[in-house]
Structure 1
Amino acid sequence: MLGMIGLFGGLALLIYLTMRGMNLLIAAPLMALVVGIFNGLPIFPQLAEEGAANFLTNYMTGFTGFIASWYLMFLTGAIFGKVMEDSGAADSVSQWIVSKIGMKRAALAVVIACAVLTYGGVSLFVVAFSVYPMALSLFKQADLPRRFIPAALGFGSTTFTMTSAGSPEIQNWIPIEFLGTTPYAGWEVSFIVAVFMMAFGYWWLKKMISKAMSKGERFVSRDTDVEAVTRSELPDPLLSMVPLLVVLVISFFFHNSLGTSALIIALTGGILATYLINRKYFHNFGKAVGDGAMGAIVAIANTAAVVGFGGVVKATPAFTSAVGFMTDIPGSPLIGGALAVAVIAGLTGSSSGGQAIALPLLAPHYLDLGVNAEALHRSVAISSGSLDSLPQGGYVVTTIRSICGETHKDAYPAFGALTVVVPILGVILAVILFSFGFGI
Structure 2
Amino acid sequence: MISMLGLIGGLILLTVLVMRGMNLLIVAPLSALFVAVLNGVPIFPQFAAEGEVDFITGYMDGFAGFITSWYLMFLAGAIFGKVMEDSGAAESVSHWIVSKIGMRNAVLAIVLACAVLTYGGVSLFVVAFAVYPMAVSLFKEANLPRRFIPAALAFGSTTFTMTSAGSPEIQNWIPIPYLGTSPYAGWEVSIITAVFMLIFGYWWLMKMIRKAVQKGEHFIERETDNTEVRTHLPHPFLSTIPLLVVLIVSFIFHDSLAQSALILALTSGILATWLLNKKYFRDFWDAVGEGTIGALTAIGNTAAVVGFGGVAKITPAFHTAVDFMTSIPGDPLIGGALAVMVIAGLTGSSSGGQSIALPILGPHYLDMGVNAEALHRTVSMSSGTLDSLPHGGYAVTTIRSIAGETHKDAYPAFGAMTVVVPIVTVVLAVILFSLGIGI
The bucket for the TM-score relative to the shorter chain is over 0.9
Instruction: Give the Cα–Cα distance (whole angstroms) in 1 for the partners of residues 220 and 37 of structure 2.
Output: 50
> What residue in structure 1 maps to residue 39 of structure 2?
39
Number of positions where the alignment pairs a residue of Structure 1 with one of Structure 2: 439
Q: Match of 2:334, as an amino acid?
A: I
> What residue in structure 2 maps to residue 306 of structure 1?
305
> What residue in structure 1 maps to residue 113 of structure 2?
113
SS across alignment from 1:166: coil
Instruction: Give the Cα–Cα distance (whole angstroms) in 2 for the partners of residues 315 and 368 of structure 1.
Output: 24
> What residue in structure 1 maps to residue 87 of structure 2?
87
Instruction: Give the Cα–Cα distance (whole angstroms) in 2 for the partners of residues 121 and 224 of structure 1.
Output: 32
Residue 227 of structure 1 and its aligned partner are, at CA, apart by: 4.0
> What residue in structure 2 maps to residue 387 of structure 1?
386
**What percentage of residue pairs aligned between the two structures are identical?**
74
Q: Match of 1:23, as an amino acid?
A: N
Which segment drifts farther, 294-303 or 273-282? 294-303
Residue 362 of structure 1 and its aligned partner are, at CA, apart by: 1.2
> What residue in structure 2 maps to residue 2 of structure 1?
2
What are structure 2's unaligned runs of at least 5 residues? none
Which segment drifts farther, 178-187 or 17-26? 17-26
Name the CA shift for 1:37/1:147 in 2 (closer, same or farther; >3 Å). Answer: closer
Whether the 8 Å contact between 2:336 and 2:361 is mirrored in structure 1 is yes
Q: Match of 1:424, as an amino acid?
A: I
Residue 61 of structure 1 and its aligned partner are, at CA, apart by: 2.1
Q: Per-residue CA shift, 1:121-159, capped at 9, x if unaligned?
A: 112222122222222222222233333222211111111
> What residue in structure 1 maps to residue 419 of structure 2?
420
> What residue in structure 2 maps to residue 144 of structure 1?
144
Name the CA shift for 1:364/1:99 in 2 (closer, same or farther; >3 Å). Answer: same
Is it true that 1:344 corresponds to 2:343 in the alignment? yes
Residue 17 of structure 1 and its aligned partner are, at CA, apart by: 2.4
> What residue in structure 2 maps to residue 13 of structure 1?
13
Instruction: Give the Cα–Cα distance (whole angstroms) in 1 for the partners of residues 306 and 216 of structure 2.
Output: 45
Whether the 8 Å contact between 1:154 and 1:415 is mirrored in structure 2 is yes
1:206-225 equivalences under 5 Å are 206-217=206-217, 219-224=218-223
SS across alignment from 1:35: helix
Residue 235 of structure 1 and its aligned partner are, at CA, apart by: 0.7
Q: Match of 1:368, as an amino acid?
A: D
RMSD: 1.7
Q: Per-residue CA shift, 1:99-118, capped at 9, x if unaligned?
A: 01111111111111111011
SS across alignment from 1:53: coil
Residue 225 of structure 1 and its aligned partner are, at CA, apart by: 5.5
Which segment drifts farther, 2-11 or 246-255? 2-11
Instruction: Give the Cα–Cα distance (whole angstroms) in 1 for the partners of residues 164 and 249 of structure 2.
Output: 17
> What residue in structure 1 maps to residue 329 of structure 2?
330
TM-score (norm 1): 0.95
Name the CA shift for 1:258/1:136 in 2 (closer, same or farther; >3 Å). Answer: same
Whether the 8 Å contact between 1:24 and 1:305 is mirrored in structure 2 is yes
Residue 297 of structure 1 and its aligned partner are, at CA, apart by: 2.0
Name the CA shift for 1:141/1:59 in 2 (closer, same or farther; >3 Å). Answer: closer
Name the CA shift for 1:411/1:307 in 2 (closer, same or farther; >3 Å). Answer: closer
> What residue in structure 2 maps to residue 172 of structure 1?
172
Instruction: Give the Cα–Cα distance (whole angstroms) in 2 for the partners of residues 35 and 170 of structure 1.
Output: 28
Which segment drifts farther, 403-412 or 246-255? 403-412
Q: Match of 1:429, as an amino acid?
A: L
> What residue in structure 1 maps to residue 282 of structure 2?
283
Is it true that 1:130 corresponds to 2:130 in the alignment? yes
> What residue in structure 2 maps to residue 356 of structure 1?
355
> What residue in structure 2 maps to residue 48 of structure 1?
48
Name the CA shift for 1:300/1:398 in 2 (closer, same or farther; >3 Å). Answer: closer
SS across alignment from 1:10: helix
Instruction: Give the Cα–Cα distance (whole angstroms) in 2 for the partners of residues 143 and 28 of structure 1.
Output: 37
Whether the 8 Å contact between 2:306 and 2:348 is mirrored in structure 1 is no
Instruction: Give the Cα–Cα distance (whole angstroms) in 2 for the partners of residues 402 and 56 of structure 1.
Output: 28
Whether the 8 Å contact between 2:302 and 2:393 is mirrored in structure 1 is no
Name the CA shift for 1:401/1:39 in 2 (closer, same or farther; >3 Å). Answer: closer
Instruction: Give the Cα–Cα distance (whole angstroms) in 2 for the partners of residues 220 and 26 of structure 1.
Output: 33
> What residue in structure 2 maps to residue 398 of structure 1?
397
SS across alignment from 2:346: helix
Residue 409 of structure 1 and its aligned partner are, at CA, apart by: 3.0
What are structure 1's unaligned runs of at least 5 residues? none
Instruction: Give the Cα–Cα distance (whole angstroms) in 2 for the partners of residues 391 and 309 of structure 1.
Output: 15
Instruction: Give the Cα–Cα distance (whole angstroms) in 2 for the partners of residues 52 and 397 of structure 1.
Output: 33
Which segment drifts farther, 279-288 or 4-13? 4-13
Q: Per-residue CA shift, 1:305-360, capped at 9, x if unaligned?
A: 22222122111111111112222222211112111221222233221111112222
Whether the 8 Å contact between 1:134 and 1:228 is mirrored in structure 2 is no
> What residue in structure 1 maps to residue 239 of structure 2?
240
Is it true that 1:295 corresponds to 2:294 in the alignment? yes
Name the CA shift for 1:185/1:142 in 2 (closer, same or farther; >3 Å). Answer: same
Instruction: Give the Cα–Cα distance (whole angstroms) in 1 for the partners of residues 308 and 226 of structure 2.
Output: 40
Residue 278 of structure 1 and its aligned partner are, at CA, apart by: 0.5
Q: Match of 1:346, as an amino acid?
A: G
Name the CA shift for 1:41/1:392 in 2 (closer, same or farther; >3 Å). Answer: closer
Instruction: Give the Cα–Cα distance (whole angstroms) in 2 for the partners of residues 46 and 132 of structure 1.
Output: 47
Whether the 8 Å contact between 1:43 and 1:56 is mirrored in structure 2 is yes
Name the CA shift for 1:309/1:207 in 2 (closer, same or farther; >3 Å). Answer: closer
Residue 19 of structure 1 and its aligned partner are, at CA, apart by: 2.6
Whether the 8 Å contact between 2:14 and 2:391 is mirrored in structure 1 is no
Name the CA shift for 1:34/1:208 in 2 (closer, same or farther; >3 Å). Answer: closer
Whether the 8 Å contact between 1:15 and 1:347 is mirrored in structure 2 is no
Q: Match of 1:360, as an amino acid?
A: P
Residue 63 of structure 1 and its aligned partner are, at CA, apart by: 2.1
Residue 411 of structure 1 and its aligned partner are, at CA, apart by: 2.5
Instruction: Give the Cα–Cα distance (whole angstroms) in 2 for the partners of residues 19 and 408 of structure 1.
Output: 6
Q: Match of 1:59, as an amino acid?
A: Y
> What residue in structure 2 maps to residue 24 of structure 1?
24
> What residue in structure 2 maps to residue 267 of structure 1?
266
Q: Per-residue CA shift, 1:368-406, capped at 9, x if unaligned?
A: 211111111111111111112222223223323333333
Whether the 8 Å contact between 1:15 and 1:348 is mirrored in structure 2 is no
TM-score (norm 2): 0.95
SS across alignment from 1:241: helix
Instruction: Give the Cα–Cα distance (whole angstroms) in 1 for the partners of residues 65 and 402 of structure 2.
Output: 31
Q: Match of 1:4, as an amino acid?
A: M
Whether the 8 Å contact between 2:110 and 2:135 is mirrored in structure 1 is yes
Instruction: Give the Cα–Cα distance (whole angstroms) in 1 for the partners of residues 63 and 227 of structure 2.
Output: 38
